[in-house]
């Protein structure tokens, strides 16, 4: 019996010697930008009197680390003298937090990006009632650039949410012609309306995790048994593009990180003296929770899975998928040219 007790004490002493290094990692909350692009096909009728155009729009939202919103995490805080500690933090390349204990959480490798959304709509035909007095008419310019075929233009603008929404929840931004297109647009003049983007911040989305710490003897929040992770909320953004009219020809939605005032806490339990407990967390690139789990040795605990209000799980695109996407965009431009040629009364293939 005494020999068995000595073995147990020796094992306890050895376990007490294994400690986690005093390492602190810093993660960053995300920020976002949205690139909005308009592709426009332009042609004149056979008489060279009227300008016809057709527009399509797309948006891509990208995420990066906000260097002004960094938060340290101490591995040492989670360690216990008589417990096994296995803590792993996973990061995106720029330091944003991807997950905690992500290697066993099963969902840390996901990447959620706002997919390119393309909307196409036939616009009202814009006709010139009188030829301008300039030596070269808009249709002369279109014919010179396209050789009788429709001319395809591209416009773009980028929303920087931290900068552009500093003082208002709604912004209006004109889309500027891309380099190489600006001379054509200037020469054609008012025959082509400039696309206008309107973006509006909607309500902050409800967080899938809500933490209410217990109170200590003085009635203050007692957080001594947990390590707090600071996470950002997300917010819906409504986007629309028009040609200077009240009715937009395209509408879309983006989900982006909310301002720092909407940040919230998620607790990580510190090491228990007896038994085992686990914590898993997986985040999208926007910082939204897709998987959150707490577990104990007895099996008590729960796992929360959420669609994160539109930020769905997505694997990185393969080369074949990217090629198919590019082919789809090329096919769209080809069909756009065919449609605008048909509207102008020119020869068009089925």
pLDDT for position 299 = 40
Between 307 and 320, the more confident residue is 320
- Write the pLDDT tens digit of every residue in 179-199: 888 888 888 888 888 899 999
The tens digit of pLDDT for each residue in 250-265 reads 999 999 999 999 999 9
> Of 346, 329, 330, which Cα lies nearest the Cα of 338?
346
Could you tell me which residue, 196 or 301, shows the higher pLDDT? 196
Q: Which two structure tokens, joined as six digits, stand for 335? A: 């069909």
- Higher-confidence residue of 5 and 74: namely 74
- Highest mean pLDDT among 144-148, 259-263, 303-307, 328-332 belongs to 259-263
Q: How many CB atoms lie within 10 A of CB 189?
A: 12
Q: Are residues 50 and 59 in contact, defined by beta-carbon separation less than 8 angstroms?
A: no
pLDDT band at 294; cut points 50, 70, 90: confident
162-180 pLDDT, tens digit per residue, is 999 999 999 999 999 998 8
Do 128 and 49 touch, CB atoms closer than 8 A? yes
Name the average pLDDT for the chain: 73
Nearest to 172 by CA among 113, 238, 235: 238
pLDDT at 53: 86
Reported in sequence order, the residue ranges of the chain that DSSP labels E, i.e. its strands, are 24-44, 50-74, 89-91, 97-100, 119-121, 126-127, 151-160, 170-174, 176-177, 196-204, 226-231, 234-242, 250-257, 264-269, 277-283, 289-296, 301-305
Residue 31, classed as helix, strand or coil, is strand
Q: How far is residue 20's CA from residue 206's CA, in Å, rounded to a whole number? A: 36
Cβ-in-10-Å burial (0-12, 13-18, 19+) of 128 comes to middle
- Report domain extents, the chain: 22-343
Contacts of 111 (CB under 8 A, 6+ apart): 284, 285, 314, 315, 316
Assign 208 a pLDDT band (cuts: 50, 70, 90).
Answer: low
Rg (CA), the chain: 29
**Alpha carbons 302 and 215: distance in angstroms, whole number:** 23
- Judged by average pLDDT, the poorest of 41-45, 125-129, 246-250 is 125-129
More confident residue, 309 or 284: 284
How many whole angstroms from its chain centre is CA 171? 19
Q: What is the pLDDT of residues 91-139, one digit of tens each?
A: 899 999 998 862 222 222 222 222 223 333 333 333 333 444 446 788 8
The pLDDT of residue 147 is: 85
Most confident of 65-69, 276-280, 329-333: 65-69
Listed residue (173, 231, 189) closest to 30, CA to CA: 231
């Amino acid at each position: 019996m005494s020999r068995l007790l000595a073995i147990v004490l020796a094992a306890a002493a050895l376990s007490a010697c294994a400690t986690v290094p005093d390492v602190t990692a810093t993660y960053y909350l995300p920020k976002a930008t949205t690139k909005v692009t308009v592709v426009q096909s332009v042609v004149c009728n056979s008489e060279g009197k009227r300008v016809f155009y057709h527009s399509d729009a797309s948006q891509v939202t990208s995420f990066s680390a906000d260097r002004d919103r960094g938060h340290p995490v101490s591995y040492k805080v989670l360690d216990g003298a008589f417990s096994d500690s296995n803590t792993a933090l996973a990061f995106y390349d720029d330091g944003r937090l991807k997950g905690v204990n992500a290697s066993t959480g099963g969902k840390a490798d996901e990447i959620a990006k706002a997919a390119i959304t393309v909307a196409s709509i036939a616009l009202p035909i814009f006709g010139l009632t009188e030829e301008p007095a300039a030596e070269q008419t808009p249709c002369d310019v279109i014919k010179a650039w396209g050789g009788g075929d429709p001319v395809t233009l591209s416009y773009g603008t980028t929303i920087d949410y931290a900068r552009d929404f500093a003082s208002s929840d709604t912004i209006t931004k004109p889309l500027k012609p891309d380099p190489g297109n600006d001379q054509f647009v200037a020469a054609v003049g008012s025959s082509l309306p400039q696309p206008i983007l309107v973006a509006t911040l909607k309500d902050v989305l409800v967080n899938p995790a809500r933490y209410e710490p217990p109170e200590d003897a003085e009635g203050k929040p007692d957080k001594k048994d947990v390590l707090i992770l600071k996470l950002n909320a997300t917010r819906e953004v409504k986007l629309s593009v028009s040609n200077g009219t009240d009715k937009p020809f395209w509408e879309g939605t983006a989900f982006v990180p909310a301002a720092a005032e909407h940040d919230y806490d998620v607790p990580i339990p510190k090491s228990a003296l007896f038994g085992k407990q686990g914590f898993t967390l997986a985040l999208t690139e926007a910082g939204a929770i897709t998987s959150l789990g707490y577990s104990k040795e007895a099996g008590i605990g729960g796992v929360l899975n959420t669609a994160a209000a539109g930020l769905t799980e997505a694997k990185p695109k393969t080369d074949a998928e990217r090629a198919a996407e590019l082919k789809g965009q090329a096919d769209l431009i080809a069909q756009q040219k065919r449609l605008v040629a048909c509207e102008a009364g020119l020869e068009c293939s089925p």
